[in-house]
A = this chain, B = another copy of it.
Amino acid sequence: MGQLTRGKSKELSNTYNEILEKIHDRDYKLTPQRQVILRIMLEHGHQHLSAEEVYNIVKREASEIGLATVYRTLELLAELEVLQKLNFDDGRSRYELNDREVHHHHHLVCIQCGRVMEFAEDLLEELEKKVWNESKFLVLDHQVKFIGLCQECQGKTEKDQ
């Protein structure tokens, strides 16, 4: 949230204004719908929202935006690398803010309660380097998902259920 103003900054942009600028640079139009959805994603960026969830938040907070537009806008923001599209095998895509500071983290998906937690990014650079050295695949991004049992559910499985 600091107001950094100087510096060329990395490819990823994250402040509201930087993103608006990015939209403009790519000759996309700055519609009120896009602004609303972007604002909501900036506010709820860590919540792994699905298109429908975004749609509902919009309906509650602002007036209303067509569901199709929500889909199209989320897709657009993912293409702009503002959002990251995620899949937790619950039958719908989810989006999270691609935060420059936090970069992305790993996801811990509990098979019992379905909750998704986060785990600070770590150790992947070394692996990416290795991928490049051994296969010449140019890594632009990565997603790491751990499937298992969260602390609460570990207790449960032994006794109940």
Interface on A for B, CB 8 Å cutoff?
Answer: 85, 87, 89, 93, 106, 108, 110-111, 117, 119, 122-123, 126-128, 130-131, 134-151, 154
Q: Are A143 and B147 in contact (CB under 8 A)?
A: yes
- Chain B residues with CB under 8 A of A148: 137-141
- Write 28 A-B pairs (CB below 8 A) sorted by A numbering: A106-B131, A108-B131, A108-B139, A111-B140, A117-B137, A119-B131, A119-B134, A119-B135, A123-B130, A128-B146, A131-B146, A136-B151, A136-B154, A137-B149, A137-B150, A137-B151, A138-B148, A138-B150, A138-B154, A139-B146, A139-B148, A140-B148, A140-B149, A141-B147, A141-B148, A142-B144, A143-B143, A143-B147
- Nearest 4 CB-CB pairs, A to B? A140-B148, A141-B147, A139-B148, A138-B149
- Chain B residues with CB under 8 A of A93: 89
How near does chain B come to A121, taking the closest CB pair, in angstroms? 10
How near does chain B come to A92, taking the closest CB pair, in angstroms? 12
- Chain B residues with CB under 8 A of A147: 139-143
